[in-house]
Structure 1
């Protein structure tokens, strides 16, 4: 919906220089500017938005928005470039979330799995064409799937995808909402109908500084949501959230949880548990996923679906029939005929790695657990030795390799991880493909190989540049070549 001078001034709340015509689009990326578009000169972590104004003008930008005047260029000066980007994106898209039922999922671990579970439940209840999903792994509009760029895209991406879903007839959308997405105003302008909080563990302190700041950022989703809200009672931060935000219900094994998990047990390749609910009694839930943490993920999604009016029979059938979640304890079929398991998982913190390895240990039984893992560069360094300690404790064979290094040296990162590991069962193999191959060659029938850190991701970010890399594909290729 093009915006005239008066509309732009109203949306931004500041004086706007004369426009040559209506604003038809907005972007923060000068490479994607279109004639008649607005360019918001956002200052990134390593760049200045003003440096890209000449390129934006060359591509036909008719409005420049920035926090400081750009010399020689008429500029709409705003208090916050990111808030301005979100406001323009929402207005141009026609406030799409007003016509959708948006479910927000936040937390440190389990966001993606909970989002996929909830999407599967909604699809079973309302039909695939009526549901959409935005997660770390992919964006789903009805039956159309595409890879995601980041957990929560920039505001322009979020609003464009919501508008695309609205226009395609989607009614229910699950939006994985990261702390980056909230802190950087990527989800500003989105109207949330319901929200889930999975847990909070140490992560992203390079952005938030302290756990308290991290928590307060996550809490904003619950402050924005007028409808049902569900928090994990077994997590100290989730319990606090339920106390602080009126109307928040809880889920978990805690005796006082509104949606209480009971009698969890393995059932072949899946799990069975009872979910005691406030309004529907006790429900027997069967899911094709393993691990107590996944029981929590399913319980949270189930609880919010019931709160939004779903019937128990539709819910339990949907959970039973859902598929694997990309990069979340994802079993690689190519390993089955070898007699051992290979699991790819996104676990990239000590807490996440512990959860995955504990499930792998249970699956292995009398077999061994081999773990290929690393730590990302340009991120919280304190968790590196902790990851090393967890891998040594729970894996029989631990192989430290390269994750995303960004600008850091891979060997330096590995050394910091190794500092917390036990040298007796740990080695360093810097090349990720070689490290995976090493684990596969050492695996015996009954073993479980865990390849952790990258999960669904298809690119490795190295100091020398980005390279294509997808763990599940690499595992399949290596096994096929043997």
Structure 2
């Protein structure tokens, strides 16, 4: 792409001032630069991309986009553009380089501490059911129907995001459902995505190692509903907000957007009431701006009903009839690692879930507790969990408190310890265990051993929740990823149970 055409998306640059340069690609990682590439120097949380400018030049970069031109070598013969914010510039350039693919699709963005993955998968199910082929970008993977790409983070950087959106469009996608993380919003990764519909699921303690305070965390989420909705040229655009959440009630929404609230609160625009629930099926009534209906969701848990209602709101915003949305939800086959059942003939109810925050753990355990009560069962609930290393340490004892509140037996183990000592993480978790609760807690550093032990000790009818890693098929120890799947380990333990 010609530099003049590429930079036409950046305001204030006179075209006559630009040299006749053909740009072969956009990069923010100096190691990946190719000859005639454009390198954008990003000031990261830990590393400043400006320090890698010489490496980018040695790889063949002929165009540099920087905030500090003083860090460009004096002998550089290419073109240098100084901007106030290279993150914003990278977002604009990446979208333009790939032809602004999101302009041609119905775009749904989902943000919140919990529920993002489930909601995007449910939105996908509804839109696909309405013959709108839908790509999904999120934590588990990126996929469009049978085609799957790996995911390195919840929301990729603009270069990979726009490349993926272009691939979706070229492969026939008419819509995309995206998880939008607070990091991505804070770092302007999705500013060039013109959203049709944005969803707020909830806000609870997480990522304070990055945001520092809950108010800053909220401010990052807020951008999706104000800044980005003001910038979108999709009309009408919709904001679907969880009114049961205290932060959802505080959320501001840009004037051009249609606001639909959802929740169990009777004032919600999309209001639900659960009629019955067991471990595999929930029946609920839903009232919406488009009418009322009874829906059967093949999942358990009030939080999953909330997710389904949010997704139905997105479907309605796309003009899909309520009955068709309900049909799609009734056939929904779940999300990997989200209250995923591990089938067995041992009369055990075993679930693997990604819950790695106190609120997420509470949601899942509340669901399992309510079902146990409705069945008048005396079965024990076992919870196996750990906490990730190099992440918010303050939530560790809170996770223990939540596990003990709803469980009969708790096994504390490793999650992804990363560069921290597993035992140190466990000691932080145990600060949330009172003296009278210690008899209900077992510590096993080895996660495989912890899962095996719980499955072997559980009695028939018991419920076992393996929390924290969900869909992940690895465990990060140090800086290395080792193959590890909670589901597979549980299946192996079941084979060894007599």
* TM-score, normalising length: structure 2: 0.90
Q: Which residue of 1 aligns with 2:232?
A: none
Matched, 1:417 2:429: yes
Superposed, 1:99-110 pairs within 5 Å as 99-110=104-115
Asked if the contact 1:368–1:396 (Cα under 8 Å) also holds between the matched residues in 2, the reply is: yes
Taking the aligned partners of 2:50 and 2:19, their CA distance within structure 1 comes to 19
Q: Relative to 1, partners in 2 of residues 1:272 and 1:28: Cα closer, same or farther, differing over 3 Å?
A: same
Deviation at 1:464, TM superposition (A): 5.0
Aligned to 1:219: 222
For residues 368-389 of structure 1, give each alpha carbon's deviation from its aligned partner in whole angstroms, at most 9, with x where no partner exists. Answer: 1111111122222221111111
Deviation readout 1:218-265 (Å, 9 max, x if unpaired): 122122235121111111111222688663111111111111112432
CA distance in 2, matches of 1:276, 1:191: 29
Q: Deviations over 1:436-472 (max 9, x none)?
A: 1222221222111111111112332332533232222
Who is 1:266 aligned against?
Answer: 277
Distance in 2 (alpha carbons) for counterparts of 1:381 and 1:141: 36
Q: Does the 8 Å CA contact 2:120/2:136 hold for their aligned counterparts?
A: yes
| CA displacement, residues 157-210 of structure 1 (integer Å, 9 cap, x when unaligned) | 111111111111211111111111111111121100011111111111222222
Matched residues in 2 for 1:437 and 1:19: separation?
Answer: 65
Q: Any idea what the Cα deviations from partners look like across 1:253-302, whole Å, max 9, x if unmatched?
A: 1111111112432157210100011222x201111110011111101111
For the residue of structure 2 that corresponds to 1:247, the secondary structure is strand
Retained in 1: the 8 A contact 2:135–2:173? yes
> What's 1:136 paired with?
139
Q: What is the DSSP-based 3-state SS (H/G/I as helix, E as strand, rest coil) of the residue aligned with 1:358?
A: helix
Secondary structure (helix, strand or coil) at the match of 1:359 reads helix
Normalised by the size of structure 1, how large is the TM-score? 0.93
More off after superposition, 193-202 vs 33-42: 33-42
Work out whether 1:77 is the aligned partner of 2:47.
no
Question: Separation in 2 of the partners of 1:434 and 1:12?
Answer: 58
Q: What aligned pairs does 1:68-467 form with structure 2 within 5 A after superposition? A: 68-69=68-69, 70-72=71-73, 73=76, 75-127=80-132, 130-223=133-226, 224-225=228-229, 227-241=237-251, 247-266=258-277, 269-280=280-291, 282-333=292-343, 336-364=344-372, 365-421=377-433, 422-467=437-482
- Whether contact under 8 Å (2:337, 2:471) holds in the other structure is yes
Q: Secondary structure at the match of 2:390?
A: coil
Name 1:24's counterpart in structure 2.
24
| Aligned equivalents of 2:88, 2:286: Cα separation in 1 | 41
Q: RMSD across aligned C-alpha pairs, in angstroms?
A: 2.2
Structure 2 vs 1, CA of residues 44 and 244 (structure 1 numbering), >3 Å: closer, same or farther?
closer
Q: What's the secondary structure of 2:84's corresponding residue?
A: coil
Show structure 1 runs of 5+ residues with no match: none
Pick closer, same or farther for the CA change 1:5–1:240 going to 2, 3 Å: same
Relative distance call for 1:469 and 1:28 in structure 2 (3 A) is farther
Gap change, CA 1:157 and 1:262, over 3 Å in 2 = same
Cα distance in 1, alignment partners of residues 371 and 115 from structure 2: 20
Task: Report if aligned partners of 1:228, 1:308 keep a CA contact under 8 Å in 2.
Answer: no
